[in-house]
Amino acid sequence: MSAPWLVLDRVSKVYGDGASAVVAVREVSMELQGGRFVLLMGPSGSGKTTLLMLMGCLLKPTRGRLFLFEHEVSALDERTLPFLRRRYIGFVFQTFNLFPALTAMENVELALNLKGINGREAQRRALALLARVGLRDRLHFLPRDLSGGEKQRVALARALAGDPPILLADEPTGMLDSRTGRQIVELLADLARVEGRLVFMVTHDQRVRDLADDILFMEDGSLVARESAGDLRELVSRREGR
């Protein structure tokens, strides 16, 4: 097996300090590979989003070490984090977060522009990405004229701009009806299995568990359980002292 893409070694994140300090992520350790579709589940406030932000280099750990393709993110300067995000990470959000003034095409193009791809090449790629998510005929629609599912597809195309190996999705189906939601999750699962990406998705939706390779459970900042495909055994995987 090749080296893991993402390694968390007793990573903690504490918000604030003193009496008001909140330990949002507590000593989480894990190793993640490409080609897998991983779900993260857990009650509200258990630290799922915070963990996603750590993995996506939007936050730096308070304690512990985090490696992304062998870059030790936890040791890097804040200013190098955008570089890592551009290169390795694609984000998908519950609220889509499309730019309302930009068309579907432009939303994807802008992401490509940020990654240094410009002009005709950016247009060509944006078109291909939107075709990939099944939106060939919605290229010049503004977000307000798209359905929820279509918006999330645009967001997915935008997350795929620049071809990042890792996709991080925070409740991407939270605003969608279950049928549309499932279609999006199927797309995400394909991106892992067919295209070999690592897709890591936070969800509350029990009905998509069958599509996952791994399911992680979080509680109160800690990773408390792990369930793997075809494996109904719940193994508590606090891998401290690894």
Partner 1 sequence: MVSLARKNLFHDRVRFAVALLGIQLAVVLMTLQIGFFLKFMTNASVLIDHIEADIWITAKNLKNFDFGLPFSEQKLYEARRIPGVLWAEKFLMGFSYWKMPDGGQETIQVIGFNPETRIGAPWDIVEGDLDEVKYFTQIFIDEADRERLGFPRVGDEVEIIGQRARIAGITRGAKSFVGSPFVFTSFKNALKLSFIPPGQTVYILVKVAPGYTVQEVKEHLARTLTGVDVYTKREFSWKSRRYWLLVTGAGIALLSTALLGLLVGTVIVGQTIYASTMEHLKEFGTLKAIGASNADLYRILIAQALIMAVIGYATGMLLARAFLNVARRAGLEAYLPLEVLAGIFGLTLLMCIGASILSIYKVTKLDPALVFRS
Ligand X SMILES: Nc1ncnc2c1ncn2[C@@H]1O[C@H](COP(=O)(O)OP(=O)(O)OP(=O)(O)O)[C@@H](O)[C@H]1O
Q: Which residues bind ligand X (CB under 6 A)?
A: 15-16, 22, 24, 42, 44-50
Amino acid type, 58: L
Nearer to ligand X, 104 or 202 (CB): 202
Residue entry with tokens 């939106």:
135
Torsion-angle region of residue 80: left (phi > 0), alpha (psi -120 to 50) or beta?
A: alpha
State the Cα–Cα distance between residues 73 and 59, nearest whole angstrom.
Answer: 10
Nearer to partner 1, 78 or 137 (CB): 78
Contact partner, 45, from ligand X, Mg ion, partner 1, none, Cβ < 5-8 Å per class? ligand X
Q: Which of 67, 91, 200, 217 binds partner 1 (CB under 8 A)?
A: 91
Contact partner, 172, from partner 1, Mg ion, ligand X, none, Cβ < 5-8 Å per class? none
Beta strand pairing status for 37-41 and 214-219? parallel
104: its two tokens: 């579907």
Residue entry with tokens 């189906």:
173
73: its two tokens: 């993110």
Smallest gap from Cβ 103 to partner 1, in A, equals: 9
186 alpha-carbon distance from chain centroid: 15
Torsion-angle region of residue 25: left (phi > 0), alpha (psi -120 to 50) or beta?
A: beta
Contact partner, 46, from partner 1, Mg ion, ligand X, none, Cβ < 5-8 Å per class? ligand X
Smallest gap from Cβ 225 to ligand X, in A, equals: 15
166 alpha-carbon distance from chain centroid: 7
Smallest gap from Cβ 45 to Mg ion, in A, equals: 8
Q: What is the largest CA-CA distance in the chain?
A: 54
Residues 44-63 that bind Mg ion (CB under 5 A): 49
Contact partner, 222, from partner 1, Mg ion, ligand X, none, Cβ < 5-8 Å per class? none
153 is an interface residue for partner 1 by CB under 8 A: no
Which residues touch 44 (CB under 8 Å, ≥6 apart)? none
158 is an interface residue for partner 1 by CB under 8 A: yes
Contact positions toward partner 1, by CB under 8 A? 49-50, 52-53, 56, 58-59, 79, 82-83, 85-86, 89-91, 93-95, 97, 99-102, 106, 109-111, 113-115, 118, 158-159, 161-162, 170, 174-175
Contact positions toward Mg ion, by CB under 5 A? 49
